[in-house]
Amino acid sequence: MRRSALLVSSLLALAIGSTANAAGTVTGQLGIQLVITDGCTVGNGGSAGGTFGNIDFGSVAAITAPLEAQSVGSGGGGSFSVTCNNGTDYSVTLDSGGNPAGGQRNMSNGTDLIAYNLFQDAGRTTPWGDGSNGGDTLDSTGNGEVQEIVVYGQVPPRAAVPSVGTYTDTVQVTVAW
C-alpha cells in the first residue's frame, strides 16, 4: 500500500509538472492610437529664439521720398512662417511697437521719433495691426503647408531732416489659432 501511494503521488507530480512545462500560445490585442488636433507651428526664418526677423530701411541723410523695405529672417528668407493643419484658422497681429504716438508707429533714437507704417501686402495698401491700433489682423486658414509671412514697411517722406542716429523699434508679433 505504501508502494501504491508512492506510485500514485509520483505519477501525480509528473502529471502536474508536465502540464506546467507544456508549450502554448496566447493571443491578445494591442491598441494603437494617434489624435491629431488643430494646431500650428511657427518658424522664425532662421532667426534666433523669439525673433521673427528684421526690417532694415538702410542709411539715408534725409527722407525726401518713401523708404520701403520688407521683413527678412537671419537666414535670408521671409521673417517667419506658419504651418497649420488643413482647415485650421489662424491670425497674425502686430502691436503698435515700443514708441507709439497718436496711433502712429515710430522708431526712436532715444530722443527723436521717425514715423513708419507696416503692411500686409507688397503694394502697401493693407495696414497691419492688431485690430485696434489702426491696422488689420492677417486672418488665414492653414493648408498643411508652410505659409511664409512677410511684413512690408514704409517710412513716409518728411520735410524736416531728422537728427543723426540709429532709429529702432520693436513690434510684438502674435500668432493665434
The verdict on residue 52 lying in a domain is no
Q: Write out the residue range of the structural domain in which residue 72 sits.
A: 39-44+63-176
The verdict on residue 7 lying in a domain is no
pLDDT of amino acid 55: 96
In tens digits, the chain (177 residues) has pLDDT values of 555 555 555 555 555 555 556 799 999 999 999 998 989 999 886 655 678 889 999 999 999 999 999 999 766 666 799 999 999 999 999 999 999 998 899 999 999 999 999 999 999 999 998 778 777 899 999 999 999 999 999 999 999 999 999 999 999 999 999
The verdict on residue 13 lying in a domain is no
CATH, residue 86: 2.60.40.1090
The verdict on residue 9 lying in a domain is no
Q: Edge to edge, what strands does the sheet with 138-141 contain?
A: 138-141, 89-94, 173-176
- What pairs with residue 54 in β-bridges? 72
- Give CA–CA dist 145/139, Å, rounded: 16
- Exposure b/e, 123-139, CB count within 10 A at least 16 = b: ebeebbbbeebbbbbbe
Count up the domains in the chain and report the number: 1
Q: How big is the chain, counted in residues?
A: 177
The verdict on residue 168 lying in a domain is yes
The verdict on residue 24 lying in a domain is no
By the 8 A CB rule, do 57 and 151 touch? no
The verdict on residue 5 lying in a domain is no
> pTM for the full model?
0.79
